[in-house]
């Protein structure tokens, strides 16, 4: 199955971070967040990707065009221009870099990418969210219920740190990552080909009429993910993810 990655938005809430970079190229631990997402999918055996490009999409294109030489040991023979690879390629990925327009909404990007995927079922996700989700279980859940679409339901991240008080004294403080009640859209969708028929044009957000109408018709099911999930919507959340990476055991790092 192919994996659609929504990678065309401006990411305005990240301020200066996205003045020169598209949001999916903002780095966590020295790698673009989109790379982390792709590593998660590849770990579960899904390694064919369709990033839907828009804002500064040329930067994403250049990153993957140069990826082989940037991530492997090479020998360059200056006189002849010959390049020899000295290590095994690190990623067995196929990447279809799809231009979907600067102003296209998320629904429009999904619609274009699903047509490109030859009317097959697809995974789809946002280019800014990480999770330790079992994608094979997600796919199995989708195939068993027989409806057109599945969305992953996650617990929302907390905006504030958690205080454990002993009288007026703070006994402990924790940067609490998730609230263990309530559910929100965590991305990590599975869509059957018919879902594109719910998206009339480029100007429609996926989170608007398409998902609303699928739900009304009983065609949208929720896969509950109780584990780690964290988006990168702002500078603070970028910092949270980078701090987790520095621990050496970031919870979304399911690959070896």
pLDDT tens string 34-52: 999 999 999 999 999 999 9
13-35 per-position pLDDT tens digit = 788 888 899 999 999 999 999 99
In 3D space, the residue among 206, 175, 159 whose CA is nearest the CA of residue 52 turns out to be 206
With cut-offs at 50, 70 and 90, classify the pLDDT of residue 173: low
Strand partners, 28: 31
How far is Cα 226 from Cα 130, in angstroms, rounded to an integer?
13
Six token digits for residue 55: 């804002």
Confirm if 126 and 187 have CB atoms less than 8 A apart. Answer: yes
CATH number of 2-153+183-246: 3.40.50.300, 3.40.50.970, 3.90.550.10, 2.40.160.20? 3.90.550.10
Q: Give the count of beta carbons closer than 10 Å to the beta carbon of residue 238.
A: 18
190-245 per-position pLDDT tens digit = 999 999 999 999 999 999 999 999 999 999 999 999 999 999 999 999 999 999 99
- Phi and psi for 115 in degrees, rounded to 5? -65, -40
pLDDT at 167: 75
114-129 per-position pLDDT tens digit = 999 988 999 999 999 9
140-159 per-position pLDDT tens digit = 999 999 999 999 999 888 76
pLDDT at 60: 98
Q: What residue spans define the domains of the chain?
A: 2-153+183-246
């Amino acid at each position: 199955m192919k994996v659609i990655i929504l990678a065309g938005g401006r990411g305005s809430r990240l301020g200066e971070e996205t003045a020169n970079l598209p949001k999916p190229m903002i780095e966590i631990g020295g790698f673009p967040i989109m790379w982390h997402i792709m590593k998660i999918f590849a770990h579960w055996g899904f390694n064919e990707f369709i990033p839907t490009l828009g804002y500064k999409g040329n930067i994403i294109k250049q990153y993957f065009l140069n990826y082989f030489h940037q991530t492997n040991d090479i020998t360059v023979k200056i006189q002849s221009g010959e390049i020899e690879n000295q290590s095994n390629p690190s990623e067995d990925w196929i990447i279809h870099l799809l231009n979907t327009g600067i102003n296209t909404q998320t629904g429009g990007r999904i619609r274009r990418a699903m047509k490109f995927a030859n009317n097959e079922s697809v995974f789809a996700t946002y280019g800014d969210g990480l999770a330790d989700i079992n994608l094979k279980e997600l796919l199995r859940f989708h195939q068993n219920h027989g409806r057109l679409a599945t969305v992953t339901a996650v617990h929302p991240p907390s905006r504030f740190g958690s205080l454990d008080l002993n009288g007026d004294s703070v006994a402990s403080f924790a940067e609490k990552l998730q609230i263990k009640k309530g559910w929100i859209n965590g991305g990590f969708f599975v869509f059957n080909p018919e879902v594109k028929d719910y998206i009339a044009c480029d100007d429609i957000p996926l989170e608007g009429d398409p998902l609303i109408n699928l739900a009304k018709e009983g065609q949208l099911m929720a896969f509950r993910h109780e584990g780690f999930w964290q988006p990168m919507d702002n500078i603070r959340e970028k910092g949270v993810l980078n701090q987790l990476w520095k621990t050496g055991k970031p919870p979304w790092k399911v690959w070896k």
